[in-house]
Amino acid sequence: MKDLDKGFQADENHEPKENARRDFLKKSSLLTAVALTPGVAVKAAENHLDEKVAAAFEKMPVNITVNGKAHKLSIEPRVTLLDLLREQLHLTGTKKGCDYGQCGACTVHVDGQRVNSCLTLAMTVDGKKVTTIEGLAKGDELHPMQEAFIKHDGFQCGYCTPGQIMSAVACIREGHADSETEIREYMSGNICRCGAYPNIVNAIQEVKNGGQQV
Partner 1 sequence: MKQFQYIRPATQQSVLDAITKPGTKILAGGSNLIDLMKRGVTSPDKLVDIQKLPLRGISQNKGNVMTVSVGALELNSAVAENKIIKESFPLLSMALNAGASPQLRNMATVGGNMMQRTRCTYFYDTAMPCNKREPNSGCGAMEGINRMHAIFGTSEKCIAVHPSDMCVALAALDASVEVKSKKGTRYIPFTEFHRLPGETPQLDNTLATGELITRVIIPHNNFAKNSYYLKVRDRSSYAFALISVAVGLDIRGGNINEARLAMGGVAHKPWRLKAAEQFLKGKPATVANFEEAASLAMQGAKSFGHNDFKLKMAPASIIEALSNAAKLS
E strand map for the chain: 60-66, 69-75, 107-110, 113-116, 129-131
Burial class (CB in 10 A: 0-12, 13-18, 19+), 72: exposed
Complex with partner 1: residue 9 or 57, whichever CB lies closer: 57
Tell me the C-alpha distance between 12 and 108, whole Å.
23
**Backbone φ/ψ region at 67: left (φ over 0), alpha (ψ -120 to 50), beta:** left
> Could you tell me the smallest distance in angstroms from the CB atom of residue 136 to partner 1?
17
Complex with partner 1: residue 27 or 176, whichever CB lies closer: 176
Interface residue list for partner 1 (CB under 8 A): 50-57, 60, 76-78, 80, 99-101, 104, 107, 113-116, 119-121, 123-124, 126, 167, 170-171, 174, 176, 184-186, 188-190
> Could you tell me the smallest distance in angstroms from the CB atom of residue 61 to partner 1?
12
> 139-159 in b/e burial notation, b at 16+ Cβ within 10 A?
eeeebbbbbbbeebebbeeeb
Complex with partner 1: residue 20 or 36, whichever CB lies closer: 36
> Could you tell me the smallest distance in angstroms from the CB atom of residue 75 to partner 1?
10
Complex with partner 1: residue 26 or 83, whichever CB lies closer: 83
> Could you tell me the smallest distance in angstroms from the CB atom of residue 24 to partner 1?
27
> Could you tell me the smallest distance in angstroms from the CB atom of residue 39 to partner 1?
19
Complex with partner 1: residue 104 or 162, whichever CB lies closer: 104
Query: Order of strands, edge to edge, in the sheet holding 129-131?
Result: 69-75, 60-66, 129-131, 107-110, 113-116
